[in-house]
Every structure is written in C-alpha cells, then in structure tokens.
Amino acid sequence: MPPDKFPKRNYAPRPRRGPPDQQLPPRPARGEGRPPRERRGDPGDHGDRTDRREGRPLRETEFHPPAEVPCEVPPEPAAETAWEPQAGWYDQRQGERGDDFHSQLVLPAVARQLQARPGQRVLDVCCGQGVLGRFLAEAGMEVVGVDASPSLIEAARARAGHRERYVVGDARTLDAVLPGQRFDHAAVVLALQDLDPIEPVFAGLRALVKPGGRIVMVMTHPCFRIPKRTSWGFDEEQGVQYRRLEAYMSPMALPIRTHPGQVNDSSSTTSFHRPLHHYLTALGTAGLAVVGCEELCSTRRGTQGIRSSAEDRAAKEFPVFMVITATRLWRRTSLRE
C-alpha cells in the first residue's frame, strides 16, 4: 500500500462552532479535574490503586478490587442440591489434585480454555473442595470459589494457599453472594448438571465477569453420558462396542447414587439433563457468546480380554466431557430474536 494512501489525521482539538461568547470552556484533559468514575458494581472502597513494585498508578484493566468475601461459614447448605451429605466422601475422593479425570482431562482443558494470566482473578463456581482453585492458584491466579456446601467450603479452606478464598453461596444468586466483585474469568466445573435452573447462573456470571472475560464450563457430555439413559452395548456379530442412547431431547431430573460401591449407603444427588440447545440458548440469552468447545475422551482403558480393542476404539469415539467456553458480550442479545 503506498504510504500516502491514508492522509495523516490532525489530532489537534477542533475549534468549537458558534459565536465566541457562546463557546464552552475547553474540556479538561483526560483524568484532570473530573471526579473519579464510579465503577459499575464497585461502589465504596476501591482499594489501593498503586502498583507497589513499580510505584506507578494502576491502569483500569490492572486494578482489582479487594477480594473481600464473607468469612462466616453458615451451618446450613445454600441450596438443596449442595453436596453436603457427600462432602466427606467427595473430599477424600478428590484429595489434593483431583481424580484421574480431573488431573488428566478436566484441569488441563480448563487451563487451555481459560487463558488466564498470573494475577488475574478467576471465579470458580461450584468449587467443591477447591481442586480447580488450588490448580489455578499454583499458576499465579487469584481465585474465589463459591459452593453451596459448607463442609466442602471448609475442606477447600483447609487446603487453601494465600491466593484462594472460598465462600458458601448459591450459584444461582452469584451477584448477591459476591456483591461488587469483578472477575477476569470464571469456570464452572462438573456442576452445571447439578444446578436448576441454569439461566440465573449465566446471568450472575455475566454480571461478575468483565467484558471479554472467558467463562469455561465443563460438563459430562450431554449427548453421550446421560445417567440411566445411555450405556455401552456390544455387537457380537460386528465385534463393535457401541453407545446406546434411550432419550435425549426431554429435560430430566435424575437421581444419582454418589458412591454406589458401598452397601447400606443411599446417598444420592440429582443430575439435571438438558439437551445441548438448552445450554447454548441460555448462554446467548444471558449475553454470553460461545468462543470455544472441546469434547474430551476418557484416557481410562478397560479390560485386557478379547473385547479390549473394541472398547479402546469406543473410548476414543465417544467423549465423556464437553467443555464450552463463552465470553461476555458488551451488549445482551437473544438467540430467539
């Protein structure tokens, strides 16, 4: 392109129109003589706005309000779907780094999709005992986790480092649980199917995450892993392991036994099945646009018997988890428009 193709713009302020006596006084330069701008959802104490290491004022994009979260842990769960009765079992099962699904599939996928940088604030919705929070905090992120189970929050706090805060709250009222808080990014890991309805969860995420922030959601695959409606089958004639699917389009609330191996334990949670379009429509309606998607296949391998290669092939064909990444749009829109 020839260098003179675009004439250079004159950035000097233009003289205002009208007779001289009606001219307005010149506008103050940026930041001069104007009252500080009230940040949306962040009234009151704005914290220290100086970079302590470099001694310079922070730019708006660098400033994070203090991560004050309620300290008290109420005795009662914040929602009836809280994993309070399962808390001891779940904490033991996840331990410090999560089970093999977490460590091999879920956490690496969240890191890839979140694209968070050290120092950024990440909201972990339905954080459980903090497996994701610990993982992100080790990478330098500041994490606030919310979960409805007081015992899981206690477990998360017991293992937490200085970059992690955990609070009891209902994911469907995030704005009220963390009033005035703002986050660079957010994650909801293996929990959307524990929540009903999901529309208020997405509305809360939209309110708390900054425009352009990424919201990563991991769920058991809503097409191939529907509790009690999908299962493995084996076609002896073809030597093929297949996935049997009995229902998909109908939303369902399905009771799940959480530790089925144990005799005399009837502990269960509810899994809410919804077809994929329900999630995508709810995201769009909340003003969240999908910008990424991954489908994760199990790395677990089955038996050593004659069916093992058919099982391995099937494991590589039918994903266990779906990861959807959305970003906050500047303006709310609706897919129904």
Ligand X SMILES: C[S@@+](CC[C@H](N)C(=O)[O-])C[C@H]1O[C@@H](n2cnc3c(N)ncnc32)[C@H](O)[C@@H]1O
Residues that bind ligand X (CB under 6 A): 78-79, 81-83, 94, 126-128, 131-132, 147-149, 152, 170-172, 189-191, 194-195
Alpha carbons 36 and 210: distance in angstroms, whole number: 19
Q: How far is the CB of 170 from ligand X (least distance, A)?
A: 4
Nearer to ligand X, 187 or 310 (CB): 187
Alpha carbons 240 and 164: distance in angstroms, whole number: 47
The DSSP bridge pattern shows strands 230-235 and 252-257 to be unpaired
Nearer to ligand X, 130 or 287 (CB): 130
Q: How far is the CB of 191 from ligand X (least distance, A)?
A: 4
Nearer to ligand X, 170 or 314 (CB): 170
Q: Specify which residues 217 forms β-bridges with.
A: 188, 324
Q: How far is the CB of 121 from ligand X (least distance, A)?
A: 18
Contact between 274 and 222 (Cβ < 8 Å): yes
AA letter at 276: L
Nearer to ligand X, 127 or 186 (CB): 127
Other beta carbons less than 10 A from residue 17's beta carbon:
7
Nearest residue to the partner ligand X, using Cβ = 128
Nearer to ligand X, 85 or 302 (CB): 85
* Helices then strands, each counted (H, E), the chain: 9, 13
Q: How far is the CB of 104 from ligand X (least distance, A)?
A: 14
Q: What are the helix (H) ranges across 42-86?
A: none
Q: How far is the CB of 148 from ligand X (least distance, A)?
A: 4
Going from the C-alpha of 171 to that of each of 49, 177, 262, 318, the distances in angstroms are 30, 8, 30, 30
